[in-house]
Copies of this chain bind each other. A is one copy, B any other.
Amino acid sequence: MAEQGAESELGVTGRTRLRRMRHKGSHRRGDLDAVLGAGFLCHLGVVVDGAPMVVPTVYGVDGDRLYVHGSVASRSLVQAPDGVVCVSVTHVDGLVLARSVFEHGVNYRSAMIYGVPRLVTDPEEKLRGLKALTEQSAPGQWEYVRQPSRKELAATALVALDLAEASVKVASGPPDDGDGPDAEMGLWAGVLPVETRFGVPEADPLLPAGIEPPAHIAGRAGELLGRSPGR
C-alpha cells in the first residue's frame, strides 16, 4: 500500500502538470520559430475601410523578418501606411474528445504576429524575401527552378514584417475531465490526432515523359507537415 500510494502521488503530480500544460502561452522566440518553421501558410488580417479582412497567403522567414506574399497586404498599406496587421499561423494536432461537451477542444500550436508592414521595393531584398517564401514550403526549389526576372520581380507584391511583437499558444494533451465526476460515466475519451502530410508528387500532364521529380521533391512524399524541421 505504501508503494502504491507513492506511485499514485507521482501519477497525480504528473497529471496535474499535464493539465496545467494543456494551454500554454509563450513569448519566447524559440517557440515562435518552431511554429513558423513548421508551416508555410498564414492568415493575414488587415483593416480595410474599418472592417477586418482575413486572407490566407504564404509566408517565409528570413532572420528577424517575416515576408508575406500578396496584393492584399500591399493594398492595405496604401490605405493605411502605418496601420498594424496581424499574421496568424495555426497547426491543428488533434481533436480533444472529453466526457462532456464543455471539455471538448482542439490541440494546436499557433502563433500571432503583430506589426506595421513595410512594402519591399528594393530588388535585392525582394529576391531574398521571395527566396525565403519559396524555401519555406519547398526547400531546394529556389536553386532548381528559374529565378524571377526583373519584370517578374516588379510584378510581385511582397511585404516585410518584423518578428518583434508575437505570441505563441500551444494546447496539447488529453482531456481535463479524466479524474472528475464525468469519468464515472465510463465513456471513451482521448485525442483524435490530425496529421497533415505531403503526398506523392503529381507530374504536370504537359510534362514530357522521362522527367522525374528531383530528390528535394520526391523525397517529401509522406513527410509530416506542421512539424518543425528535425522533429
Chain A interface residues toward B at CB < 8 A: 15, 40-41, 43-47, 50-56, 58, 83-88, 90, 92, 94-95, 97-102, 104, 106, 108, 110, 112, 114, 130, 134, 137-138, 141-142, 144-149, 152, 155-156, 174-175, 178-179, 182-183, 185-208, 211-214, 217, 220, 225
Contacts and interface: CB of A to CB of B under 8 A. Distances in A.
Contacts of A188: 201, 203, 207, 211-214, 217
Contacts of A183: 206
Contacts of A43: 43, 45, 54, 56, 88, 90
Contacts of A144: 187
Contacts of A50: 47, 84
Contacts of A86: 45, 51-54
A42 to B, nearest CB: 9
Contact of A56 (B110, B194, B225): B110
